[in-house]
Structure 1
Amino acid sequence: MSDTPSVATHLSRDSIQELVDKTPPSGKRRSLGLIAFVATLGSLLFGYDTGVISGALPYMYLPRDGGGLALTTTEEGWIGGLLCIGAAVGAAVSGKLSDKYGRRHNIILLAIVFFVGAVGCALSPNVWVLYVFRFVLGFAVGGASGIVPVFLGETAPKRIRGTLVAVDQMMIVFGQFLAFSMNAVLAQMHGGPHVNTTDGRSLDWSDSVANQFANGMFSIADGNGMTWRYMLILASLPAIALWIGIRLMPESSRWYVANQRIPEAIGSLKRVRNEDKDGPIADEIDEMLEVQRKEANQEKWSLGQIVSTKWTRKLLFIGIILGLADQLTGINTAMYYTPKVLSAAGLPMSDAISLNVVSGGISFIGSAVGLWLVTRFARRHVGIYQETSIVISLGLLSAAFFFLIQPYQNDEGDIIGAPTFAPYLVLLIVCLFVFAKQSGTVTWVIIAEIFPSKVRGTAMGLAVGTLWLANALVAIVFPIMMEEIGGSWTYLIFSLINVGSLLFYLKVVPETKYHSLEELEERFEKEYS
């Protein structure tokens, strides 16, 4: 699209109405509910592919003869981390592609990438091939995290736009819950990661069993190491559904208008609008064109201008720290590694994988509560509630490991003689932790509101990119921390990090709820200059 306003942006209201009258719908009518369901399959895949790994990783630790990948702790971290790095790349690249080729077109491509990534991960013969396809899958996850909300927001009428975008966020959490549920079903069908010895015993895979195997004390006759492949291949099914479904949906009318394709925009709108409820299509097209007129006259700043200007530099700093803080809550230690944590607390791995469904369900409930809290209360207050609750829950988790688990841990990591309630107490605290995080998440809301229009694209990209890289860091280092310093110190460190985040909310983060974006821009320029 040209940088200068085209003839289309200067169409009169009467000219637009004439176009509306003579332009037919571009295809069969589609309900907004169906469009939302199909599009948010991308968000469900986002959640499934980030959550499924929690149940798959324990099976990957099995030796190759038992169907696993003979995984090490460092390799485990990179399996999670590379998905996040891929997501950071995907979020950046997919946004530009969708601006150039269309939202719907980009989602079709992402469905293919999701499918290739899922199948490639499930069929990986070794960890190095798995790394490649986890990065590919991450690219699709990052792309979906940016494009699906945009597609929904641009397709929905004003009256339900916020609701549909909120549903998108809930579908991510539901995807994680679905992944945990399917992991539990498969774990119960096949048992936890175990090996069958030549003398007829079936042993859960653990450090002590691994040592016995390495020392030649028994050989493997059979195992259930294929289970992780079944978990990962299931993600291909919603990818197929997304590819088929999104091809039947209309393109974003706002994307058409942004590219001066007004007849196509009208044809697309006629497939999804009820003029009795949503108002005249001509009025909506005129509003879109008015936005284009304003944006054509708005100045866009480069990164150098943002950094060299005091008030925008401070806003960029706030956005980046919020992105870091969002992931350094440690939430993805629960999304990726809860079975590992519960196993470290003394539960058999098959039970740990099954009980992960509980934390996933609590996470989903927490996200629903979070929608209400963000609507009802000030942004800062919700963030302060979140950080305070996380500090307390992670502190309790550290104490549970210190007093109830680590004193009963032998040199090989096995728990002997610990109180029987200890692992269930750990599960309860993990549930409190994920509820606090999901019900108090305001990071995405605040960083979408604090940046002025002339820096929003660049600044948002940096903040979200930082968030994904922090996610990768947590995924990589958490297994190593659990092995090297134990659960008590690991969760104490995360708790102290969140004390810093709490202070940041109390002292630095501005309130954005009660002002328009234009008012916020004026206020920040005065306060931070």
Structure 2
Amino acid sequence: MSSAPEIKQHSRAAHSEYAHQHSKLDPQTRAIANLDTKLSNPLRGIPRDQLMSDVEVFAKERGLTHILPDLQKGALLAQDPDAYNSLSDFTEEDRQILSDEVNHKWKQTRTLYYMVVMSSMAAAVQGMDEAVINGAQIIYPTQFGIGDPNSARDGWLIGLVNSAPYLCCAIISCWLSDPLNQWLGRKKTIFVTCMISFITCIWSGLTNTWWHLFIARFFLGFGIGPKSATVPVYAAECSPAAIRGALVMMWQMWTAFGIFLGDLIDLVFYFIPDTPGVTGLNWRLMLGSAGVPGLIVCLQVLFAPESPRWLISKNRYEDAFKELCRLRFSPVQAARDLYYIHILLEAENEMKKGRNRVVEMFTIPRNRNAALASWVVMFGQQFCGVNVIAYYSSNIFLKSGFSQVAALASSMGFGALNFLFAFPAVFTIDTFGRRNLLLFTFPCMAICLLITGFSFWDPFEKGRVAGVSIGIYLFAIFYSPGEGPVPFTYSAEAFPLYIRDIGMSFATATTWFWNFVLSITYPSLQLAFKPQGAFGWYAAWCMILWVLILLFVRETKGKTLEELDQVFSVPLTVHAAYGLRQIPYGFKKFILFQNPTPEQLYIAESDSEESSGIDEQGKKEVRADVEKGGN
């Protein structure tokens, strides 16, 4: 066993090693750090006289001279959010509103909350689209002649039908998100995708062959993929900074609510009898009902504000200001956001000139490390096995000895727990950190999956039913605050600003592709391996993912843009070695209850300079390189 002095010496050596590496960052990473610094606040350091002159020119060019006083005050706020406390330009009313923005952050306009409700409903549509097939697929296969539980062919066909939307998302619809948003804007994209969800859900309920249902559900993917990328972005672009993160996270929480609602509808409609000339009315209503919330969103979104950022990108500044006035309490707040968005867009456009951002996402080490980490967490969101339960829990409960009604009711219990335990994620994700949450919950999920699978060996029906239920419900409890919200949050912050939209498209396509693989293979997997082997397979993947997270996923909690650049600039091999060294540390701390000294790998630039002994001339050279962007 290593002594405390040895641990400290090792930690200092690792600290010094990283400091030396940081002082010699490659020029590309330094350029990215410079880009992020500029994009984090392009107004930083501009003298007041020049700022006021720039605002006046901006107002004249954009036809906004009628709001010039508000724009000038807004620019001062955009440069320094606390300026209203020290400058005489602001009235008492301005100060009160701006103070409330900080001290009473949930005090917002009705229009903003209307947008929140609409976005939450769109997320629920997403969840229902995913969940209603869970109940329908214990009924429709028999009607379509593919219901033989011992047929590998039928298992593949059921998996193909169930996974059809996610195949569409992975290969086509996710990649349409950017062009649709460019052409139509956020509002119209949400309208179109929800209308597609409504039409294809009704279409699914009218099918009479498995291949017809496959086609209808494949086209449902055009309503799922772009919506999953657009709604969180729309919420972020309409929200004030103080509550932006919480509102974006609501996407995952209300998707979980949609899954619960879909499971509830499956149970309610199961009892609907057939009518003359219509067979399978119950499963048809299950599939068709998922379209109703989509229609409600279509009616809502017509009255919601358009994204101000999108309007500004289309040179519609007057419209953007009007929408911001609807979303904020005062014209000063609206003018501040208008000018700041304008400056950010100009800076982003300047940064993108002459760059192939897709290529740079994989060729520059800092970006590649972020892409790898995002891929791991997005892949893990599927191969932890959660959607095996979300899509097939009714069949799983049936095989354990439940009746069809009891299986649907038990599936609803999984949906309810998945929703309820998403609430703690709002607090735990920024308290415990993304990486720590994943490292804690993945072994727990593996144990829960093993409990579920091994329960099928219980010869007594009551014990088997109890074991399967306990395993699945505990799995939901551990999944919801960990691997549920972390992947989308992590991917949204890991990439540098100039490639963030492309990085999110990559991350979203990753999760939908593996969603497709998971849902198409499970029926055949459980037929070949039995439920015990199938759940053991995903338990094993949970442990593999634990190792991948330990080695390749970096902590992003509470990091500034500059600190994130440092975190993702640590070479892959150095971070992997650091991860392996955390195993004995964790064993001593959590198993032996000792108090070992933690190793610090992510350190501030000032710390790294001090610990590495860089002289003043060396510091100046490093800073000069960063200021030049590494050129």
* TM-score for both structures, normalised by structure 1: 0.83
2:205 is matched with which residue?
Answer: 122
Report what 2:158 is aligned to.
Answer: 76
Pairing 1:152–2:235 present: yes
174-183 vs 37-46, greater mean Cα deviation = 37-46
Matched, 1:295 2:332: no
* DSSP 3-state at the match of 1:347: coil
How far off its partner does 1:368 sit? 1.1
**111 and 19 in structure 1: CA distance in 2 versus 1, 3 angstrom threshold:** farther
Quick one: distance in 1 between partners of 2:147 and 2:467?
33
Which residue in the other structure is 2:339 paired with? 286
- Please, which runs of 5 or more residues in structure 1 have no aligned partner? 1-8, 24-28, 192-220, 409-417
Displacement after TM superposition at 1:189 (Å): 4.8
Cα distance in 2 for partners of 1:48, 1:19 equals 47
- Say yes or no: does 1:228 pair with 2:272: no
| Amino acid paired to 1:81 | S
User: Which residue number in structure 2 is paired with residue 87 of structure 1?
Assistant: 169
Are 2:100 and 1:58 aligned? Answer: no
Shift of 1:188: 4.1
Count matched residues: 471
Instruction: Please give the per-residue CA displacement for 1:154-209, whole angstroms capped at 9, x wherever unaligned.
Output: 11222332232222321111111001111111224559xxxxxxxxxxxxxxxxxx
Relative to structure 1, the CA distance from residue 478 to residue 528 in structure 2 (aligned partners, 3 Å threshold; closer, same or farther) is closer
CA distance in 2, matches of 1:322, 1:141: 20
What is the deviation of 1:295? 0.7
SS at match of 1:58: coil
Give the partner amino acid of 2:143.
P
Aligned runs of 1:124-139 on 2, under 5 Å? 124-139=207-222
Shift of residue 22, structure 1, vs aligned partner: 11
- 1:379 maps to what in 2? 434
Q: 1:333 to 1:67 in 2, by over 3 A?
A: closer
- C-alpha deviations, 1:392-428, integer Å up to 9, x for none? 1112122212x31xxx5xxxxxxxxx33232132112
Whether the 8 Å contact between 2:418 and 2:477 is mirrored in structure 1 is yes
2:166 counterpart letter in structure 1: C
1:32 is aligned, of 94, 100, 112, to: 112
Q: Distance in 2 between matches of 1:148 and 1:131?
A: 26
> In structure 2, how many angstroms separate the alpha carbons of the residues matched to 1:149 and 1:379?
19
Q: Write the deviation string for residues 252-295 of structure 1: whole angstroms up to 9, x where unpaired.
A: 1111112221111011112222129xx53211111111211221
The 8 Å contact of residues 380 and 510 in structure 1, kept in 2 or not, is answered as yes
1:67 and 1:226 in contact (8 A); partners too = no
Q: Indicate yes or no: 2:297 matched with 1:242.
A: yes
Give the structure 2 partner of residue 216 of structure 1.
Answer: none
Note the C-alpha offset of 1:463: 2.5
Q: Distance between the aligned counterparts of 1:356 and 1:307, measured in 2?
A: 41
Q: CA deviation at 1:40?
A: 2.5
Letter in 1 for 2:425: G
Q: Does 1:504 align with 2:528?
A: no
Match runs of 1:446-465 below 5 Å: 446-465=490-509
**2:550 is equivalent to residue 467 of structure 1:** no
Contact 1:155 1:252 in 2 (8 A): yes
Give the aligned partner of residue 43 of structure 1.
123
> Which residue, out of 555, 563, 569, partners 1:525?
569
SS of the residue 1:280 aligns to:
helix
Q: Deviations over 1:39-67 (max 9, x none)?
A: 33221110001011100001112235999
- Taking a change above 3 Å as real, the CA distance of residues 286 and 224 of structure 1, as seen in their structure-2 partners, is same
Q: Comparing 225-234 with 56-65, which one deviates more in the overlay?
A: 56-65
Distance 1:332 1:472, change over 3 A: same
Report SS of the residue matched to 2:401. Answer: coil
The AA in structure 2 aligned to 1:428 is I
Equivalent of 1:423 in 452, 465, 485: 465
| One-letter amino acid matched to 1:455 | I
Which residue number corresponds to residue 202 of structure 1?
Answer: none
Specify the alignment match of 1:325 in structure 2.
380
Q: Does 1:18 align with 2:98?
A: no
Which whole-Å CA distance do the structure 2 matches of 1:311 and 1:263 have between them? 39
In structure 2, relative to structure 1, the CA distance for the partners of 1:476 and 1:21 (3 Å cut) is: same
Q: In the alignment, which residue of structure 2 is the partner of 1:353?
A: 408
* Superposition deviation, residue 454 in structure 1: 3.4
* Alpha-carbon distance in structure 1 between the residues aligned to 2:399 and 2:130: 21
Give the corresponding residue for 1:307. 362
Change (3 A) 1:168 1:317: closer
Residue in 2 that maps onto 1:4: none
Quote the offset at 1:434 in angstroms.
1.6
Superposition pairs of residues 89-108 of structure 1, within 5 angstroms: 89-108=172-191
Question: Residues 87 and 139 of structure 1 are in contact (CA less than 8 Å); yes or no, is this contact kept in structure 2?
Answer: yes
2:255 maps to which of 161, 169, 172: 172
Cα–Cα, structure 1 residues 284 and 189, in superposed 2: closer, same or farther, change >3 Å?
Answer: same
3-state secondary structure, aligned to 2:176:
helix
The change in CA–CA distance for 1:85 and 1:346 in structure 2 (over 3 A counts) is: same
User: Given that residues 453 and 468 in structure 2 are in contact (C-alpha distance below 8 angstroms), is that contact kept between their aligned partners in structure 1?
Assistant: no
Q: Structure 2: state its 5+ residue gaps.
A: 1-52, 71-108, 574-631
1:87 counterpart letter in structure 2: C
Q: Computing the radius of gyration over CA atoms, which structure comes out larger, 1 or 2?
A: 2
Do the aligned partners of residues 224 and 432 (structure 1) sit closer, same or farther apart at CA in structure 2, a change above 3 Å counting?
Answer: farther
Select between 491-500 and 511-520 the one with higher mean Cα deviation: 511-520
Counterpart Cα distance in 1 of 2:376 and 2:337: 37
Normalising by structure 2, what TM-score? Answer: 0.70
- Give the distance between the partners of 1:439 and 1:360, measured in 2 at CA: 14
Rounded to whole Å, the distance in 2 between the matches of 1:473 and 1:452 is: 29
Between 339-348 and 301-310, the greater mean CA deviation after superposition: 301-310
AA in 2 matched with 1:369: P
CA contact (8 A) 1:185 1:354 kept: no
Offset at 1:371? 2.0
Matched residue, 1:476: 520
* Partner Cα separation in structure 2 for residue 396 and residue 42 of structure 1: 35
**Equivalent residue for 1:183?**
266
Q: Which residue of 2 aligns with 1:259?
A: 314
Query: Could you tell me whether the CA contact under 8 Å between 1:19 and 1:263 is conserved in 2?
Result: no
**In 2 relative to 1, CA 334–10 (structure 1 residues): closer, same or farther, beyond 3 Å?**
farther
* 2-structure distance, mates of 1:321, 1:167: 22
- Give the corresponding residue for 2:28: none
Structure 2 counterpart SS, 1:513:
coil
Farther off after superposition, 10-19 or 138-147: 10-19
Which of 409, 412, 418 in structure 2 is aligned with 1:363?
418
Distance 1:97 1:10, change over 3 A: farther
SS of equivalent residue, structure 1 residue 440: coil
Residue 439 of structure 1, aligned match among 463, 468, 481: 481
Question: Which amino acid is 2:421 matched to?
Answer: G
The letter for the 2-side match of 1:31 is T
Shift of 1:116: 1.3
TM-aligned CA deviation for residue 93 of structure 1: 0.3
* Identity rate, percent: 23
